[in-house]
Structure 1
Amino acid sequence: MTVFAEFRVDVGAPVSLGDDGFGLARIVPILGGTVTGRTMAGIILPGGADEQRVRADGLTRIHARYVIRLEDGALVRVDSQGLRHGPPEVLAALQRGDAVDQGRIYFRTVIRLETSAPEHDALNRSLYLTSGQRIANSVLLTLTEC
């Protein structure tokens, strides 16, 4: 598979909703970011969110929704669902904001893109598999077309 695009998603501090018996529920605000790729480039608009569920064993279910404004003004809705997990000591270091060996963390999502812009209709017709990295206050996603 070839790289389709790279997203840098800038995130804020998580808002914890507590543990409801299914794991710790939290919402991570999406503050902005950038998109670069073969056929698309633009910015991630503020106002999105990543709804997470963190289990006691460290497995995090991720469901992020946000909007991209492409350089030509077209808007693209992003729906991203996935998983992140790793050894407890690595996840703890990540939560503290420490640099960690990203090879020790499994972070994958599937992204669906939607747009009403006819010139970008091809985005509506594919799914994208991503590998992710959390670095400081950003998430770096590398998208490959499935």
Structure 2
Amino acid sequence: MTLPAPGLSHICDFEIRLDPPHEMGVTPAGTRRIIPVVGGTVTGPLLNGMLLNVGADWQTVQAGGVAQLDARYAMETHDGAVIEIVGLGIRHASPEVTARIASGEQVPPSDYYMRSFIRLETGHAGYDWVNRALFVATGGKVGPTVRLSVYRID
């Protein structure tokens, strides 16, 4: 039996504003930092609204430069629904590209890898569909902003 390959449907784009990171230093797991999420926008064919000033990315950069992304934040839709966002992902690049990103340079996302699994959850009946799907995202970082394009796995 051959199962069908999943498709992807674009649901929205996040533009996430970040505050400077709180550096925890080198731990047994790697270099740890907490990066506050302080707002942003959500625009797209299925979700529109604003990111709330709540949450953070609890990031661990491992030896070799792979950043483990563990973000939890929330959005409010244009019609008042609050949706929790949990993103688990990885970002990696060459040391040169990593330095360019860290300096705030606008580096084309094709020059590095940034992907996340996104879980959305809400109690709002009009958005119950987010509770019944899985999502993935591609991303890029410029200075204090992260951009994610979020897709539902069909």
- Normalised-by-shorter TM-score class: over 0.9
Q: CA shift at 1:98, angstroms?
A: 1.7
Residue 113 of structure 1 corresponds to which residue in structure 2? Answer: 120
- Write the distance in 2 (CA, Å) between the matches of 1:92 and 1:136: 12
Structure 2 gap segments, 5+ residues each: 1-7
- Share of identical aligned residues, percent? 35
- Write the distance in 1 (CA, Å) between the matches of 2:46 and 2:12: 8
Q: CA shift at 1:13, angstroms?
A: 0.6
- Write the distance in 2 (CA, Å) between the matches of 1:2 and 1:39: 10
- Write the distance in 1 (CA, Å) between the matches of 2:100 and 2:63: 16
The alignment of Structure 1 onto Structure 2 pairs a total of residues equal to 146
* Aligned ranges 1:1-146 → 2 under 5 Å: 1-146=8-153
TM-score when scaled to structure 1? 0.96
Q: CA shift at 1:96, angstroms?
A: 1.3
List structure 1 segments (4+ residues) > 2 angstroms apart after TM superposition. Answer: none
- Contact in 1 for aligned 2:91/2:114 (Cα 8 Å): yes
- Write the distance in 1 (CA, Å) between the matches of 2:129 and 2:108: 35
Q: CA shift at 1:2, angstroms?
A: 3.0
Q: CA shift at 1:40, angstroms?
A: 1.6
Q: CA shift at 1:66, angstroms?
A: 0.5
- Contact in 1 for aligned 2:102/2:143 (Cα 8 Å): no
Amino acid at match of 2:69: I
Q: Alpha-carbon deviations, 1:47-72, whole Å to 9, x = none?
A: 21000000121100001101101111
- Write the distance in 1 (CA, Å) between the matches of 2:84 and 2:102: 28
Structure ID, larger Rg: 2
Q: CA shift at 1:101, angstroms?
A: 2.9
Residue 4 of structure 2 corresponds to which residue in structure 1? Answer: none
- Contact in 1 for aligned 2:37/2:57 (Cα 8 Å): yes
TM-score when scaled to structure 2? 0.92
- Write the distance in 2 (CA, Å) between the matches of 1:101 and 1:39: 26
